[in-house]
Amino acid sequence: MARANSLRKLRAIVTSRKNADNLSARVRRTLVSTLYTNPASLAIGAFNGIASTAIAAWVAELPVLYVGCVILTIIAVARVTAALGLSPDKAHRSTRQLEFIYEIGAFSYALAIGTIAAITIWYEASAAVEVLMVANALCYGVGICARNAGRPNIALGQLTLVCVPIMIVSLMIGSLAFIALFVNMVLLIPAMSSITMNVFKVLRDSIAAAETSAQLADKMQTLARTDVVTGLANRAGLNHAMVETMMEIEKDTRLALIWIDLDKFKEVNDLLGHPVGDRVLSEVARRLRDVCPEGATVARFGGDEFIVFGKISDRMESERIASEIHAEIMRPVRIDGDRLEVRASLGVAVLPEDGRDADTLMQSADLALYHAKVGGRSQTRFFDPSMTRDLIRRREIEGELRAAIANDELSIFFQPIIDLETGKIRCFEALVRWFHPEKGELRPDEFIPVAEETGVILTLGNWITAQAARAAAQWPEDVSLAVNLSPLQIRAPGAALGILNALREARLDPTRLELEVTESLFVDDDPASSAFIEELAGRGVKFALDDFGTGYSSLGYINRYPFSKIKVDRSFVSGENVGKKSDAIIRAVAEMGSQLGMEIVAEGLEEVEQVQKVKEAGCTLGQGYYFSRAVPDYLAMMLLAQEREEGIPIRASA
Ligand code: C2E
Ligand code: CA
Ligand code: CA
């Protein structure tokens, strides 16, 4: 029964050892490292053993014990040195090596201390010396089981090696007391085995549990830093990678940050659905990963924006990577046999010249991207310090513009548009002016684009239309009002209604209003634009195509929308590029106008010769400083009054 029991225990020890060997490498290393923690306890134990042996040798006058003393000292010194030099945190040795080195020291020390105790018994040293050395050996054996429970095979091996010499000698002497000592030790070994194994299991399980939760935490962190759609780093992942890179870079390291924004990606989502949108994003992500250098971070910054961030050797390299990225994205994407064209705008900034830390670098790349988008999209822009100055000025203007409307700093000026045949005023174009208390008069070219980008144009535009309509209501019925409209104003919800309301409030007939739009309105092919034009044209409002010749000059738009006027841009009339070609173009446009029953306005007429030329070319209307600059409403009234009462055309010579 007892044999079966101890067999079972032995089997349990063997299987748990097997399990112990199956432990994950990290758990095992942690356990092995417990062997090396606190080398001081090792030194104290060794000192105790050596001192006791020395005392025993002296008291019992047994020279062999002096030999034992020397052996213990050699082993102790070697072990303490090894423990200090081989701390597992520092040592690059394998776990098995560390364990083996420890085993040699531990086993030889245990055997030595057990043998010394056995010798004192064998040579029948005094009872006190025997007690001292046996107690010393057994205390060591039991204590070591507790200390080394992390590696139970070592602990139990040591206990056994301590006990075996004493047990052999006890048997050899064979007296009742020593037989009893023998039995005690036979019982001690399995008892200590069971205790040690229990401690070991608790230790192992808690380390394994800690290990598992650490792994889980790792996994969660990786998930939290990954974008689900593309598998790239997400915003958090990018931040993390940036912080890490910034910490490890040296002084002369260069980094490039490329900010990529897919052009009009919203349309892909709206027209083809989100699943297709996601596939396009995944494909773009895959291409980015392929084309980016190793070690670079590729992240999806949200929506249709991506960021590539990595070390480069020089600025040229960032240019090369950016152009490769651009080329890769522009390759059509195939989805279920359909070809999709993807376009992207890129903004690039380089550390250290465009920003010394991650935040400034991001701002610079963002600004460069903004310029790429404003500059017509599908292009790459590199950060330039002037972009910051632009931005500061824009921000200033943006803030002040909102206040300007309330503070009455804005006013509407009117520039006449003249019938080239009769010299009479047919229309006034409303042009906004900003009289800034500090900066003086600001041109619309400076603040209208800011108003457009920031959306202030909606408030501003409504105000302009209302003011201009009120002034125009005072003019004779046959003089019309031209108002410039930005695409944003036209696409805003309720835009047409807003204009009709302004007309009603000012009591101006819709047929007297002419809205000037540029071709940029049609580029995006927004259905809201067509709806706006159709609705207002239905109420009698007229439309003029402004700045003709500067954009696409597509005849398609002229055909599609009910324009009553085409305004030929002033660059065809004045400036260095004016010549035979521009004459021919004006002629062709004028010819087309007369065929289609449209009026052709020549803009920017400053000289009498220019007036004569455009008239000969067939333009029906003219506008420019030659006739008049844009003037305040009361002067516009005066011009009209002069013309009507005195019958003097604005420029008789025209
Ligand atoms: P635009 O619609 O082409 O307006 C004509 C511009 O040419 C005006 O500049 C006018 O002052 C200028 N101009 C007229 N005759 C001559 C000339 O003989 N020589 C020269 N060199 N220039 C001449 P302005 O008032 O600075 O307006 C610039 C642009 O700002 C306008 O170009 C228009 O696109 C925009 N803008 C002006 N007022 C408004 C507005 O109320 N709403 C919107 N959305 N845009 C406006
Ligand atoms: Ca205009
Ligand atoms: Ca114009």
- Digit-coded pLDDT (tens) for 436-455: 988 899 889 889 988 887 88
User: Which amino acid residue places its CA nearest to atom 12 of ligand 1?
Assistant: 604
Atom of ligand 1 nearest to the CA of 625: 18
604 C-alpha to ligand 2 centroid (Å)? 11
418 C-alpha to ligand 1 centroid (Å)? 16
3-state DSSP call for residue 15? Answer: helix
260 and 184 housed in the same domain: no
In a domain, residue 222? The reply is no
What pLDDT is recorded for position 286? 96
Q: How many CA atoms lie within 13 A of 582 on its CB side?
A: 19
Ligand nearest to the CA of 432: 1
- pLDDT category of residue 12 using cuts at 50, 70 and 90: low
596 C-alpha to ligand 3 centroid (Å)? 21
515 C-alpha to ligand 2 centroid (Å)? 9
514 in contact with ligand 1, CB cutoff 6 A: no
Interior/surface letters 249-280, b for 16+ CB within 10 angstroms, e for the rest: eeeeebbbbbbbbbbebeebbeeeeeebbebb
Contact 46, 80 (CB under 8 A): yes
Residue among 431, 450, 453 to mutate when testing ligand 1 (max atoms within 8 A of CB)? 431
- pLDDT category of residue 10 using cuts at 50, 70 and 90: very low
Burial of 378: CB neighbours in 10 Å, binned 0-12, 13-18, 19+: middle
Quickly tell me which residue has 């980015």 as its tokens. 288
In a domain, residue 399? The reply is no
Helix H or strand E encompassing 471: helix 456-472
What pLDDT is recorded for position 555? 79
624 in contact with ligand 1, CB cutoff 6 A: yes
Rounded to the nearest integer, the mean pLDDT of the chain is: 88
pLDDT in tens, 71-84: 989 998 888 888 77
* Sign of the CA dihedral with 587 first, then 593, 594, and 599 last: negative
263 C-alpha to ligand 3 centroid (Å)? 28
417 C-alpha to ligand 3 centroid (Å)? 12
Ligand nearest to the CA of 447: 1
Angle at 175 between CA 170 and CA 176, to 5 degrees: 105
Atom of ligand 1 nearest to the CA of 464: 41
In a domain, residue 450? The reply is yes
pLDDT value at 36 more than 80: no
What pLDDT is recorded for position 482? 98
What pLDDT is recorded for position 652? 44
What pLDDT is recorded for position 90? 57
Which residues are paired to 429 by β-bridges?
415, 482
Interhelix angle for 152-173 vs 95-122, to 10°?
A: 20
548 and 448 housed in the same domain: yes
250 and 337 housed in the same domain: yes
What pLDDT is recorded for position 653? 42
Token couple for 570? 């002033």
In a domain, residue 651? The reply is no
pLDDT in tens, 107-146: 999 999 999 999 999 998 888 999 999 999 999 899 888 8
429 and 352 housed in the same domain: no
3-state DSSP call for residue 260? Answer: strand
243 and 120 housed in the same domain: no
Burial of 649: CB neighbours in 10 Å, binned 0-12, 13-18, 19+: middle
User: Which amino acid residue places its CA nearest to atom 45 of ligand 1?
Assistant: 484
Atom of ligand 1 nearest to the CA of 461: 42
Of the segments 46-50, 482-486, 554-558, which one has the largest average pLDDT value?
A: 482-486
606 in contact with ligand 1, CB cutoff 6 A: yes
Q: To 10 degrees, the CA torsion angle through 194, 196, 200, 201? A: 20
Contact 369, 306 (CB under 8 A): no
Token couple for 644? 């009507």
194 and 282 housed in the same domain: no
431 in contact with ligand 1, CB cutoff 6 A: yes
pLDDT value at 516 more than 60: yes
Interhelix angle for 176-224 vs 152-173, to 10°?
A: 180
Task: Specify the number of domains making up the chain.
Answer: 3
- pLDDT category of residue 8 using cuts at 50, 70 and 90: low
pLDDT in tens, 91-109: 577 778 888 888 898 899 9
In a domain, residue 155? The reply is yes
* Gap between the Cα atoms of 616 and 556, Å rounded: 26
468 in contact with ligand 1, CB cutoff 6 A: no
pLDDT value at 506 more than 50: yes
* Gap between the Cα atoms of 487 and 557, Å rounded: 15
502 in contact with ligand 1, CB cutoff 6 A: no
Q: Tell me which of 353, 383, 413 is where a domain ends.
A: 383
What pLDDT is recorded for position 289? 95
- pLDDT category of residue 654 using cuts at 50, 70 and 90: very low
173 and 303 housed in the same domain: no
In a domain, residue 653? The reply is no
625 C-alpha to ligand 1 centroid (Å)? 12
430 C-alpha to ligand 1 centroid (Å)? 9
445 in contact with ligand 1, CB cutoff 6 A: yes
Neighbours of 293 (CB within 10 A): 14
Q: 627-631 contacts: CB < 8 A, separation 24 or more?
A: 627/416, 627/418, 627/651, 627/654, 628/415, 628/416, 629/413, 629/415, 630/413, 630/414, 630/415, 630/429, 630/431, 630/433, 631/413, 631/414, 631/415
What pLDDT is recorded for position 374? 77
Atom of ligand 1 nearest to the CA of 567: 3
pLDDT in tens, 139-158: 989 988 888 888 888 899 99
625 in contact with ligand 1, CB cutoff 6 A: yes
Atom of ligand 1 nearest to the CA of 443: 26
Ligand nearest to the CA of 567: 3
Strands 305-312 vs 254-262: parallel, antiparallel or unpaired: antiparallel
Distances in whole angstroms, Cα of residue 281 to Cα of each of 173, 231, 350, 419, 569: 86, 10, 25, 56, 41
Q: Which domain holds residue 19?
A: 2-217
Ligand nearest to the CA of 445: 1
Assign residue 377 a region: left if phi > 0, alpha if psi is -120 to 50, beta otherwise?
left
* Sign of the CA dihedral with 436 first, then 438, 443, and 448 last: negative
In a domain, residue 567? The reply is yes
User: What does the DSSP 8-state code read for residue 616?
Assistant: H
432 in contact with ligand 1, CB cutoff 6 A: yes
Contact 79, 46 (CB under 8 A): yes
What pLDDT is recorded for position 5? 56
Distances in whole angstroms, Cα of residue 377 to Cα of each of 116, 287, 346, 580: 89, 20, 9, 33
Residue ranges with CB less than 5 Å from ion ligand 2: 484, 516, 546
User: Which amino acid residue places its CA nearest to atom 11 of ligand 1?
Assistant: 630
Burial of 494: CB neighbours in 10 Å, binned 0-12, 13-18, 19+: exposed
523 and 604 housed in the same domain: yes
pLDDT value at 2 more than 60: no
User: Which amino acid residue places its CA nearest to atom 4 of ligand 1?
Assistant: 431
User: Which amino acid residue places its CA nearest to atom 24 of ligand 1?
Assistant: 444
User: Which amino acid residue places its CA nearest to atom 22 of ligand 1?
Assistant: 604
Q: Tell me which of 186, 217, 248 is where a domain ends.
A: 217
- Percentage of the chain lying above the pLDDT 70 cut: 95
445 C-alpha to ligand 1 centroid (Å)? 8
- pLDDT category of residue 22 using cuts at 50, 70 and 90: low
Q: CATH number of the domain that 630 lies in?
A: 3.20.20.450
120 and 261 housed in the same domain: no
* Gap between the Cα atoms of 373 and 344, Å rounded: 9
358 and 416 housed in the same domain: no
547 in contact with ligand 1, CB cutoff 6 A: yes
Token couple for 90? 């520092």
In a domain, residue 373? The reply is yes
Atom of ligand 1 nearest to the CA of 547: 3
Atom of ligand 1 nearest to the CA of 457: 44
Angle at 64 between CA 59 and CA 70, to 5 degrees: 95
What pLDDT is recorded for position 415? 98
149 and 195 housed in the same domain: yes
Token couple for 554? 């597509």
pLDDT in tens, 368-385: 998 898 777 889 999 999
Residue among 429, 433, 484 to mutate when testing ligand 1 (max atoms within 8 A of CB)? 484
Angle at 182 between CA 180 and CA 187, to 5 degrees: 95
185 in contact with ligand 1, CB cutoff 6 A: no
Contact 581, 618 (CB under 8 A): no
pLDDT value at 4 more than 80: no
Q: Tell me which of 154, 186, 217 is where a domain ends.
A: 217
604 in contact with ligand 1, CB cutoff 6 A: yes
Q: Where are the alpha helices (DSSP H) in 249-384?
A: 265-272, 274-291, 315-330, 358-374
Q: Which of these, 357, 242, 219, lies nearest to 299 by C-alpha position?
A: 242
Q: CATH number of the domain that 278 lies in?
A: 3.30.70.270
pLDDT in tens, 170-211: 999 999 999 999 999 999 999 999 999 998 899 888 888 988
83 C-alpha to ligand 2 centroid (Å)? 88
643 in contact with ligand 1, CB cutoff 6 A: no
Quickly tell me which residue has 């897919």 as its tokens. 262
Contact 326, 346 (CB under 8 A): yes
What pLDDT is recorded for position 11? 54
261 and 297 housed in the same domain: yes
Starting at the edge strand that comes first in sequence, how are the strands of the sheet with 305-312 ordered? 297-302, 305-312, 254-262, 344-351, 380-382
